[in-house]
Structure 1
Amino acid sequence: MQCCLVAGPFSPRQFPSPPHPAGGGGEEMGRDWLTRYGYLPPPDPLQARLQTQEGLSDAIKLMQKFAGLQETGMLDERTLAMMDQPRCSLPDIIGTSELMRRRKRYAHSGSVWAKKQLTWRIRSYPQTSSLSQAQVRSLLFYALQAWSNASALTFLEVPSDSADILVEFSRSFHQDGYPFDGPGSTLAHAFFPGEHPISGDTHFDDEETWIYDPHAQAQDLFAVAVHEFGHALGLAHSTSKESIMMPYYQGPQGLPYLYQLPPDDTLGIQTLYGEQPLLSPPALILSSPTPVLLIGLSVCLHRPRPPAPDRCQAHFDAIANIRGEVFFFKKKHFWRMQLTRNLVSLEPAQIHRFWIGLPTDFPAIDAVYERSNDSKIIFFIGQRFWVFADTQVDRGSPRPTTDLGLPPGVTVEAAFVWGHNGKTYFFEGTRYWRFDDWAGTVEPGYPRPLTLWKGVPSGLDDVISWNDGSTYFFKGTQYWRFLGGSVEADSGYPKSAPQDWMYCQGSPTASPAPGPRGGPGKPGGGQCLCSGAGPSSLPALLPWILALAWALR
């Protein structure tokens, strides 16, 4: 694995950055390399501390053991070639060679977090990467989830700079004592757990070409992030060739959503933080066959599809703005609209394959919204609600809506966070409540009549705040727009929701003529999802796109 200079209670010494040894020899450069990565102590001519030939041979054997090479003790061609490979710049030997004498191949740094729920935040994004901010956030989310799926750790994204793990994309000198060097060589670094403000922080060199593509010759952000976060959690390098914590870069790791830590890393993280509780099943771990979406491969898979609702007919049960994207729920399915107002697919995905933990026998989702204080997702079904951290259900779900301060018998028909004031609103019939997510209860003076929102009918299907600052009310096949902080519908409304949001033609209630879904030459009634091998045809990796591929099955 590549690119991590880790500091903390076991901060590596700072050595000059020597050039890597070239193919045909270079004992002096080999010594420098061994010194840089902790196999040899730095020479001290003033105290006559010179490295002996025997010490050099022992150091080479240790290095060869870490690299999975034959332990010859000589700077042979294979050893020199390995020294020239991209790798992490954290020393392999921290303190003494005791790590190499461990019976287990994983190794701990000696630092560990005293808690099991850690917070994280992305402080800055790459400036020149082809990845969007949403894609970067999604990749980092899955990199952290690889560790939480294998242990008792949980990660909560927060908006505060006091987060345990702060992620930054920086250039050159960036005020942590470990400057980046531009493209190549040192790509990122992380800091071991501890009490120092910088402990756990993870920095990526913004001058690198960060991508997500299993076939491209560039730095795979997901693979590097999994390795770096391992250091931020307290793991040192491993001698296991299958370990993500091996010092040498191993290339792309496949689909982030399906990635599972190798056994060596799983054992290592569990010795620090314990196993995941049995009552909280791992999120997004699948035991099913090959998923539909295989990024970078040209593949079509056809599977029988259960009956799905028509997006152009009738109304939606619930609509929600989640992570800046709009989700349309209808019966047991949903559609997803990206920031660009493009549907991810005209075919709906199945809710129960995405949010595992909801009941399988529900007739419809009544309302959904993303909570403002912790970004958790709240589902209302009848007079109960479920809380999800992304796609993992919280313990204690479901709970009665009376826990929110609502009167008994209330079914929340619509819910949204108003961008104008950051408050949450619940609607039922002809009345609504304002809710304080931070206090966890309905505010005094509610309910109030829905007529205060001028121009909309009672019995709403749902309400959302969109990224343009407007608020949209939906009922049946119609919707109303409220500009900014206005409480009066904009002129020219209502309009057709199927036409404007679902790309349907003709009458709002018209249903397209039935026909084969597969297209020319494809089995009707089945599902075909293809992706090309070239970078230009890669699917957009917006938040949860890989989970969505599973849900579409």
Structure 2
Amino acid sequence: EWLSRFGYLPPADPATGQLQTQEELSKAIAAMQQFGGLEATGILDEATLALMRTPRCSLPAPPAAAQARRRRQAAAPTKWNKRNLSWRVRTFPRDSPLGRDTVRALMYYALKVWSDITPLNFHEVAGSTADIQIDFSRADHGDSYPFDGPGGTVAHAFFPGNHHTAGDTHFDDDEAWTFRSADAHGMDLFAVAVHEFGHAIGLSHVATARSVMRPYYQGPVGDPLRYGLPYEDRVRVWQRYGVREFVSPTAQPEDPPLLPEPPNNRSSIPSLKDVPHRCNTHFDAVAQIRGEAFFFKGKYFWRLTRDRHLVSLQPAQMHRFWRGLPLHLDSVDAVYERTSDHKIVFFKGDRYWVFKDNNVEEGYPRPVSDFSLPPGGVDAAFSWAHNDRTYFFKDQLYWRYDDHTRRMDPGYPAQSPLWKGVPSALDDAMRWSDGASYFFRGREYWKVLDGELEAAPGYPQSTARDWLVCGDPPDDSSEAAGADGAPPGQHEQSRSGDGYEVCSCTSLASPLPVASGLLVAATTLLLLLPLFPPSVLWTVAWALAL
């Protein structure tokens, strides 16, 4: 049965009298031994049985005779006829120590192994349509390659072609998937993914001992950040697609996703050295969303509620709140809420994403040329209530856009600034619930009253002090008194000059990791309050408390 399953022996058919002879069986065993790097004796010895018990790919590794038969037939398409390929993880492992972000990052790096040396570009998408759909499944899952529990067959992928499963890649969810683990019984997900994505771009199994395309699992292949394909595999993929002559920004972002050191990344508690301090930084983007203010810095953001309360002194993580932003996205350039449909638009470089509440819309990211904007992206974006137009800023220029007709107004770009007293180059801009517009540059901001074309008197002012509830910038002496100048152990009620409030507590003792986790969990839960029904919030609260 094993020899028939993997293409070494045609299946017996008692109904037609086609039975296996001892000679055919011996030839099949010899072919399997030769392909597996064993001495081709045709005898089912212990070494052969051990190789047959080795975990492997579900796809067959047919002997030369079967390959010759296929060559005499019309060749099926075995390569992609396009260079930009989308991918998504449709279903994730159910009982795995690997978190979703780790799984997605490993898929990214496994695809990058192939795109680094070929003209192929891979980009992750969040919608239901993707060239390469990735699933973690069990047993019979609707194709011709059912899984068989732990061990045995561990994964398979479909070759390119004119069929709906082209490129799709399936992993056995019964396997103990690992990453950077000392567990000798686990299955290294990165190593298996590199192999399967080789199939997804058209490479078949080979017998070469050092090839990643051998059908048998060979253990971890090394660090995903440094791994390079063996020479034999590079030659084969070059013969199919050619050599990469340039680096595409789509295929190789400047800041690829981070991989955690431990194999379990279910916790999303940020590293303290990675978290920016709201009181001594300028912001990448500022936006009013659903009547609330969001201040973005790096991978994090702070939020002020409708009644002008800072939700938490600690920032929340973008990727936990807006699902669908790429893992490698470590900052955004601009964010605004469209007045036409109240969807939220994120800009980064030459691309943008559209979100409905917390969920990315299908088909994104898309190029900023959709807005008739030039390459390079924007520095700031906001909708001005005075004329219901959206303004985009880049360096010394600005554009005026109609979100209702999805057209750029004629005569733009124009030279900044439109508003007297506002800097010609901006970091951020937003409209606030008081009707005024606010413009940010560096650590200062300017206020323009509704309908006015000039900054209000007395500006610029300090962004940190007036919006983020900060006093003087923190220094070495302030650390002993807490992050915001409050004596250790003291409960502090702060209010800025414009009435923004926050309630915070500091502890006499150094914070324990559990306490930090609860703080981040509570922050995330508070951020989710306006967007989810109470039943969901109870579920989230319970999960965070576990």
TM value normalised by structure 1: 0.54
State how 1:422-461 maps to structure 2 within 5 Å: 426=392, 442=408, 452-454=431-433, 457-461=438-442
| 2:191 alignment counterpart | 223
Find 2:218's aligned residue among 247, 250, 253. Answer: 250
Alignment of 1:2-401 (within 5 A): 32-93=1-62, 96-98=65-67, 111-216=78-183, 217-278=185-246, 280=248, 283=252, 295=261, 314-316=280-282, 318=284, 327=298, 338=317, 367=333, 378-379=348-349
Shift of 1:261: 1.6
CA–CA distance in structure 1, aligned partners of residues 131 and 147 of structure 2: 22
More deviation in 271-280 or 108-117?
108-117
Give the 3 Å change call, closer, same or farther, for CA 416–176 of structure 1 in structure 2.
Answer: farther
Contact 2:432 2:438 in 1 (8 A): no
Instruction: Tell me, yes or no, if structure 1 residue 478 matches structure 2 residue 464.
Output: yes
Q: Secondary structure, in 3 states, of the residue corresponding to 1:478?
A: helix
SS of match in other structure, 1:458: strand
After TM superposition, the score normalised by the length of structure 2 is 0.55
Provide the residue aligned with 1:521 in structure 2. Answer: none
SS in 2 for 1:188: strand
CA deviations on 1:481-514 (whole Å, 9 max, x unpaired) are: xxxxxxxxxxxx43239999xxx8469899xxxx
Mapped to 2, the partners of 1:438 and 1:199 lie a distance apart of: 39
Aligned equivalents of 2:103, 2:16: Cα separation in 1: 49
Q: How much does 1:166 deviate? A: 0.9
How many Å apart are 1:213 and its aligned residue?
2.5
Say whether the 8 Å CA contact 1:171–1:180 is kept in structure 2. yes
* Deviation for aligned residue 1:248: 0.5
Distance 1:110 1:430, change over 3 A: closer
- For 1:478, the aligned partner's letter is A
Residue 494, structure 1, aligned to residue 465, structure 2: no
Separation (CA, whole Å) in 1 of partners of 2:244 and 2:175: 35
- Equivalent pairs, count: 380
Shift of 1:232: 1.5
Q: Percent identity?
A: 41
SS in 1 for 2:440: coil
Distance (Å, rounded) in 1 between the aligned partners of 2:469 and 2:411: 33
Is 1:461–1:476's contact at 8 Å kept on the other side of the alignment? Answer: no
Assess, with a 3 A threshold, how the Cα gap between structure 1 residues 115 and 64 changes in structure 2: closer, same or farther: same
Per-residue Cα deviation, 1:200-243 (whole angstroms, up to 9, x for no partner): 21122333332222422322221221111111211111111111
Q: Secondary structure of the residue that 2:221 maps to in structure 1?
A: coil
Which runs of no fewer than 5 residues in structure 1 stay unpaired?
1-31, 103-107, 287-291, 298-307, 330-335, 342-353, 356-364, 380-385, 390-400, 418-422, 464-473, 481-492, 511-553
Question: Structure 2 stretches of 5 or more lacking a match?
Answer: 264-273, 288-295, 301-314, 321-327, 354-367, 384-388, 420-428, 445-459, 486-546
- Equivalent position of 1:23 in the other structure: none
Deviation at 1:61, TM superposition (A): 2.6
Residues 316 and 328 in structure 1, CA contact (< 8 A), matched pair in contact too:
no
Query: How big is the alpha-carbon RMSD for the aligned residues of Structure 1 and Structure 2?
Result: 5.5
Which of the pair has the greater relative contact order for Cα pairs under 8 Å at 6+ separation?
Answer: 1
Tell me the alpha carbon deviations over residues 82-107 of structure 1, each in whole angstroms, 9 at most, x when there is no partner: 111111121101794436999xxxxx
Distance, in Å, in 2 between the alignment partners of 1:411 and 1:192 is 36
1:185 shift after superposition? 2.7
Cα deviations by residue, 1:8-29 (Å, 9 ceiling, x for unpaired): xxxxxxxxxxxxxxxxxxxxxx
Shift of 1:293: 9.3
For residues 186 and 147 of structure 1, what CA distance do their matches in structure 2 show?
23
AA aligned to 1:86 is: P
Larger Rg, first or second structure (1 or 2): 2
8 Å CA contact 2:106, 2:190 repeated in 1:
yes
